[in-house]
Amino acid sequence: MRPETFAVKMDDGAEISIRHHARKGADRLYISHGNGFAVDGYRVFWESLLTDFDVVLFDMRNHGQNAPTGADGHHYQQMAWDLTTVHREVEAKLGKSRAIGVFHSMTSRAAMKNAAEMGSPYDALVLYDPPSVPPQGHHLYEAMRGFELKLVQWACERPERFGSPGELEASYGEARASAKWLPQARADMANAVLRQDDTGDYRLSCARELEASIYLAALTLNLWPSADALGVPARLIGADPEGRGGPPTGPANCALAKEGGYDYVGMEGVGHLLQIEKPEECRAALYDFIAKL
């Protein structure tokens, strides 16, 4: 069944496209994505959730299906506020329902900032591998700093134009970071993050310089909140806690969970895009948490 689609306007005038898969009377999941990606690329994760939940899918500003709005507002402060605006406008149109934010990476960090500093509008949060940077002096700070700086350089130098989505899909298959993605997810993500321009070429929906700015901003957020500081029930689901063959986000989130008292699941053998590497296991962790609410 095709979703209902509508746009909601942010407080600065930017519009975000909403795709609503209705399930009357069910909990409402708000699902979004990581930096430089788009929510339709996570289909192998969220499609099976449509059976049991009322699902709201959306891309963050300057990503995916949203019209580009440039650098103004492309920062964590605004994105954190956008999460409140999305919730408010969706409720105004669809009515109230128990709301669970299901967010990955950049959007997880925005949701943490939103909750700790503004008061979360969501009734619960499920946070998939946020790029949690500990305070300076922490034994994992330098590992996360190096990780983010490498991503800044990678984003600035990545190709921004493709002859077809298949070119980007092929590059996902060759890159170490995306080698564990399910093959269908590589195709979905390539289609989700590209838009065709007037020349017939395909360009990144999120400009690479904007993507780089978010990686760099992770180092200055000063965001290492305890679970209690979020003010709502939250589950933290991290990449491999030992960092075996994966990014330091796994060990960093394991440390945050221990130090901050989180309900935590560390998933062995997965990298940062865990939802499209092991979607079934990631859904199981979500169902388990919701059953406890």
- Domains defined for the chain, CATH in brackets: 4-292 (3.40.50.1820)
Residue carrying the six token digits 């605006």 = 85
Angle, helices 141-157/249-260, rounded to nearest 10 degrees: 140
* pLDDT for the residue numbered 271: 96
Degrees, nearest 5: CA angle 198-75-4? 60
> Across all residues in the chain, what is the average pLDDT?
97
User: CB neighbours (10 Å) of residue 203?
Assistant: 18
Angle, helices 183-192/165-174, rounded to nearest 10 degrees: 140
* Residue 53 Cα distances to 47, 137, 269, 276, angstroms: 10, 42, 28, 19
For range 182-206, the mean pLDDT = 96
Q: What digits encode the pLDDT tens for the residues 21-71?
A: 999 999 999 999 999 999 999 999 999 999 999 999 999 999 999 999 999
Q: What digits encode the pLDDT tens for the residues 242-269?
A: 998 789 999 999 999 999 999 999 999 9
* pLDDT for the residue numbered 245: 77
* pLDDT for the residue numbered 111: 98
- The model's pTM: 0.98
Q: Is 58 helix (H, G, I), strand (E, B) or coil?
A: strand
Percent of the chain exceeding pLDDT 90 equals 97
